[in-house]
Amino acid sequence: MTKTLLLILITMTGTGGVTDLSLNDAIRIALENNRDIQIEEKNVAVSEGEIKTQQGVFDPFINLVSFFNDGDNPVLSTFVPSGTVTQKQFNAEANITGLLPTGTFYNLIDFNTTWTKTTNPLEDLSPSWLNNVGFSLGQELLRNFGVDVNRTFIITAKRTNEITVKELEVRISQVLLEVERQYWLVVAARKNLELERTALDLAVDLKNRNQIQVDVGVLPPVSVTQAESEVAAREVSVIRAENDLQAAEDNLKNTLA
């Protein structure tokens, strides 16, 4: 099957003149400019982000905390002649917490270390290290128990995303069909205008030939009158065809906007 590529001339707003517009160009412009499509695309992006947000509930959380303290503390003791004890302390904590799809919450590698150095003579070890490592698991037996319950929001987000994608596809299909329909209406209106102009030219030519034949006495004067009436009718048809073409172009431009 041979496919013919047709170009229509249409005055596009902002171009300052007449523009050759193919059907592919019209479709591209419509897809780029259609506000409903842009809104649906944003809805799809939002729904995809919601899926990631809900899936992020099960992401592990790493917590790191540390601090350093250096200070002098006054004391009343005969063992401390200066009356002041200097203490330096560094503490670091690290743990990994999270939630599993089953509803199990965990605290893994709960690590805590403390380094202390002091001038207190009552302290046997200075500097000293104190380290603690532990982990914990927990599971609620009634509330939030089971994979299905904890994945409800993810499933809902995915269903919402599927709906928004379908809505986008439907809107794109509607725009494509409307653009193609409006485009071919412009093509048809332009072809009709060409036919009406050709018919007008033929009517004018017939009137001129009839006038010549009336002048030489071959035809009666009424033949010129009839030809003039035909010319007037064709002129009206041309004006009507021009208006139809302008309306079709305006409709197409509104669809592309």
* Each residue's pLDDT tens digit, 238-252: 999 999 999 999 999
Same domain as 207, residue 240:
yes
Residue 18 placed within a domain:
yes
Instruction: For residue 5, name the pLDDT band (cuts at 50, 70, 90).
Output: very low
pLDDT category at 167 given cuts 50, 70, 90 is very high
C-alpha distances out from residue 47 to 35, 39, 159, 202, Å = 18, 12, 9, 63
Q: Which of 118, 38, 8 is nearest to 70 (CA)?
A: 118
Predicted pLDDT at 67: 83
Distance (Å) of CA 152 to CA 21, 43, 79, 158: 49, 20, 65, 10
Domain boundary among 129, 145, 161: 145
Do 248 and 157 fall into the same domain? yes
Are 97 and 160 members of one domain? no
Tell whether 120 is covered by a domain. yes
Q: Which of 97, 127, 145 is the last residue of a domain?
A: 145
Confidence of residue 73 (pLDDT cuts 50, 70, 90): low
Q: How many domains does the chain have?
A: 2
Query: What is the largest distance, in Å, between two alpha-carbon atoms of the chain?
Result: 150
- Per residue in 201-222, pLDDT (tens digit) is 999 999 999 999 998 988 899 9
Contacts for 50 with CB less than 8 Å, ≥ 6 apart: 157, 160, 161
Average pLDDT, the chain: 84
Which domain, by its residues, includes 128?
59-145
For residues 113-120, give the mean pLDDT: 77
**Which of the residue ranges 37-46, 112-121, 179-188, 200-209 would you say has the lowest mean pLDDT?**
112-121
CA atoms within 13 A on the CB side of 251: 17
Where is average pLDDT lowest: 17-31, 100-114, 181-195? Answer: 17-31
Residue 42 placed within a domain:
no
Residue 257: alpha-carbon gap to chain centroid: 17
254: helix, coil or strand?
Answer: helix
Closest CA to 144 of 60, 57, 59: 57
- Residue 123 burial by Cβ neighbours in a 10 Å radius (0-12, 13-18, 19+): middle
Sequence-distant (≥ 6) Cβ neighbours of residue 34 within 8 angstroms = 171, 175
Is residue 247 assigned to a domain? yes
Residues 6+ away with beta carbon under 8 Å from 200: 231, 234, 235, 237, 238
Instruction: Assess whether 213 and 128 both reside in one domain.
Output: no
Tokens 């009424």 found at = 222
Distance CA 37, CA 56 (A): 29
Residue 78 confidence (pLDDT) above 60: no
User: 107 lies in a domain?
Assistant: yes
Shared-domain flag, residues 203 and 248: yes
- The arrangement of strands across the sheet holding 61-74 comes to 61-74, 84-99, 104-118, 128-139
Token pair listed for 194:
């060409």
Domain assignment present for residue 238? The answer is yes
Answer with the one of 81, 111, 145 that is the final residue of a domain: 145
For range 107-127, the mean pLDDT? 75
Q: What is the CATH number of the domain that holds 188?
A: 1.20.120.330
Shared domain for 245 and 158, answered yes or no, is: yes
